[in-house]
Amino acid sequence: MNLRFGFPQPLLSFALLLVWLMLAGASAGNAVLGLILAWLLPLFTRAFWPDNPAIRKPWKLAAYALRVIADIVVASVIVARLVLSFRRSPRSAFVCYPLTLEHPLGITMLASTISLTPGTVSADVSNDHKMLLIHALDVTDDQALIDGIHKRYEKPLLELFQ
């Protein structure tokens, strides 16, 4: 009963309601319409969401998001300095990053975070989901980069998914 008529993806439903209210303006009528949409859309698209919601501790998401936003600002300043230092060409490198996260959503979040933070873009994930290929704009010590990402981003994500 719960699977058929309930909210199969509570977080998705919440996000849908929130986006609907932001788009259409917050009023009582819109809230009712948004609730109906948030109930029906996940039900109709259930077949496209193979996994159960995996985030065990949604409240930890906020702390992670704040940290990532702060790092995005720092990252952009670093990249801006690299872009504007016309005299030397950057020492770029491809680095293989061994993943300890296993859930696809977790890997996606880690890859997106890596792309938005200092000097690194995640380029590809291996077919067995064990390695992440990272292109770093300006790096001399590969191991330090891997350790930094592991400590700063993968640890909090691991906590989020367990």
Partner 1 sequence: MTFAAELIVSILLVTGGAFALVGAIGLARFPDFFTRLHGPTKATTLGVGSIAMASIVYFFSQGQSAGVTELLIMVFLFLTAPISANILAKSAMHIKVGIMENTRGKPWDQ
Q: Which residues bind partner 1 (CB under 8 A)?
A: 19, 22-23, 25, 72-73, 75-76, 79-80, 82-84, 86, 89-96, 111-116, 119, 121-124, 126-127, 133, 135, 137, 142
Cα 46 from chain centre: 21
Distances (CA, A) of 72 to 25, 37, 62, 102, 124: 29, 33, 15, 25, 21
Please compute, for residue 149, the number of CA atoms within 13 A of its CA located in the half-sphere on the CB side: 31
Name the minimum Å distance from CB 133 to partner 1: 6
- The amino acid that residue 112 corresponds to is S
Q: Of 43 and 78, which CB lies nearer to partner 1 in the complex structure? A: 78
**CB of residue 122 to partner 1, shortest distance in Å:** 6
Helix (H) or strand (E) holding 122: strand 120-125
Kindly tell me which of 92 and 162 has the beta carbon lying closer to partner 1.
92
Identity of the residue, 43 or 64, whose beta carbon is nearer to partner 1 in the bound complex:
64
Cβ 71 to partner 1 shortest distance, Å = 10
C-alpha–C-alpha distance, residues 139 and 79, integer Å: 12
Nearer to partner 1 by Cβ, of 103 and 142: the residue is 142
